[in-house]
Every structure is written in C-alpha cells, then in structure tokens.
C-alpha cells in the first residue's frame, strides 16, 4: 500500500483500541499485522510534549476536585445533611 496517511493510521489504531482484531484490520487495509503491532508499540512508548503533560496534569487536578466535591455531597446525604461526626 506504500505510505499510509496519518488519518488512516489513526483510524486503524482507534479501531484496534476499540476492540477490533488486528488481523482483520490488516487484511481490510492491505497491511501486515506486524505493521499495526509496530504502530501500537511505538505509540505506547512515544514521548508526551510538555504542553500535553501540563494539560493532562490540570485536567487530573480538576477531576480530583470534582471527586472531592461529590464525595462531600455523598457524605452529606448519608449523614442527613450533617458533616459533623
């Protein structure tokens, strides 16, 4: 097939991650299954940019705060609206 467009490569990798079989996708796209496994391996070991890292770090912190608020709300409902012990 020659050079694979990055959009097609991403589509294949997304489908694999969604549970489709590598062998089936390789056949469908006319690729070697080893090629797809290599893409998966390289993707798993690739470096994350500092920008992406900071974005994920901020998102993680926001999610922790949301979980904290939800836990407090749950605790309130379990204790009849009281937070004292």
DSSP 3: S
Tokens of 85: 């012990």
- Show pLDDT as tens, one digit a residue, over the chain (85 residues): 456 788 888 899 999 999 999 999 999 999 999 999 999 988 765 566 888 889 999 999 999 999 999 999 999 998 876 655 5
Mutual orientation of helices 6-17 and 33-45 as an angle, nearest 10°?
Answer: 90
Mutual orientation of helices 6-17 and 22-29 as an angle, nearest 10°?
Answer: 150
pTM of the shown model: 0.48
Radius of gyration of the chain (CA): 22
The domain spans of the chain are 6-45, 48-85
Question: Is there a contact between 41 and 13 (Cβ–Cβ < 8 Å)?
Answer: no
């Amino acid at each position: 097939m020659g050079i694979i467009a990055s959009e097609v490569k991403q589509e294949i990798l997304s489908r694999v991650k969604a549970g489709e079989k590598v062998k089936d996708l390789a056949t469908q796209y006319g690729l070697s299954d080893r090629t797809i496994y290599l893409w998966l391996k390289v993707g798993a070991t690739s470096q994350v940019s500092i920008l992406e890292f900071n974005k994920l770090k901020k998102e993680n912190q926001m999610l922790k705060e949301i979980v904290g608020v939800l836990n407090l709300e749950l605790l309130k409902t379990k204790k009849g609206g009281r937070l004292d012990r």
